[in-house]
Amino acid sequence: MKGLEFAIVRYGSIWNDPAWNLAVPNPASASRTKVESTLAEYPASFILIKHPQIGYILYDVGDYPSGEDGVPRSTFWKEYFPVQMVREDYVDQALPRNGVPLSDIACIILSHMHYDHAGGIKFFPGTRAAENVYVPKADFEAACLATLAEDGERDTDSPYWRSVVTTKGITYRFLEQDVELFPGVHVFLLAGHTPAVGALLLECESGNYLFPNDACSSRQNYGPPAKPTAIMHDSLAYQKSAAKLRQIEQQYHARLIFSHDLDEDRSYQHLPVFYR
């Protein structure tokens, strides 16, 4: 589509054991009975879309600085998923620094409600984008169930965070099926990692780009064969979603852009560069 552009906004890194991202990446064996784990770096990013009719669209909004709203990161997430980010990298400063104030964002598409993809929604109350936040309904329901239960029944180590889900002033518009949301902007619902991750497809002039997001967050996950992560809602659905992604890739002759793949990320260009 003429005039449809996007930029990859890299906002830092998450460090964690590779086993969270790729199930059993370094297995012990009869000849290697002891193996060691080590923290590895995984890129964190969101996508800024410039649409010729709609204006600026965000696909995900990244994380939110720990404690800035009075809600510090829990011990579990600080210990097992430490972040390497500076304050200027978060969406509220990264975009204005590149000439795009938050007031210019027309709408937001959240792939899913995990904190590293949706946490930045806390920056948007009072903006026009807050009136137009699209999210997979099945995932939002799972986020509510995980975070709004009584404290004694709530999983405090869940990647769904109560402070994100309960952000005031946000109007959610629920996605219940695959849809061309705007001309050249498609969202495909993929179960597995969560009940539904919204994968993005953009039809640009130079070609089509497919963002599997955490439905298949790295080239290793994608395969073939597809290899699941440890943070998993439905492993059988994950395999079906990987097959569906491959069909979409082939149908649209799309280039894949992975969300948490450091090797792939090194080959990407980042904001202020736009893909056209």
pLDDT, position 152: 58
Q: Which helix (H) or strand (E) holds 10?
A: strand 5-16
- Across the range 30-39, mean pLDDT stands at 92
CA 205 – CA 50 distance, rounded (Å): 13
Number of C-beta neighbours around residue 48 at 10 A:
22
CATH (one of 3.40.50.2300, 3.60.15.10, 3.40.630.40, 3.40.366.10) for 5-24+38-188+261-265:
3.60.15.10
pLDDT, position 24: 86
What are 62-80's pLDDT values in tens digits?
999 998 988 888 999 999 9
The CA angle 150-151-152, to the nearest 5 degrees, is 95
Single pTM value for the model: 0.95
CA 120 – CA 167 distance, rounded (Å): 10
What are 190-214's pLDDT values in tens digits?
999 999 999 999 999 999 999 999 9
**Residue ranges per domain, the chain?**
5-24+38-188+261-265
pLDDT, position 222: 95
First to last CA, the chain: 9
pLDDT at residue 122 above 80?
yes
Of 52-56, 95-99, 109-113, 226-230, the range with the lowest mean pLDDT is 226-230
CA 199 – CA 212 distance, rounded (Å): 5
Average pLDDT, the chain: 95
pLDDT at residue 153 above 70?
no
Beta bridge mates, 270: 8
CA 77 – CA 69 distance, rounded (Å): 17
- Across the range 129-154, mean pLDDT stands at 90
pLDDT, position 274: 98
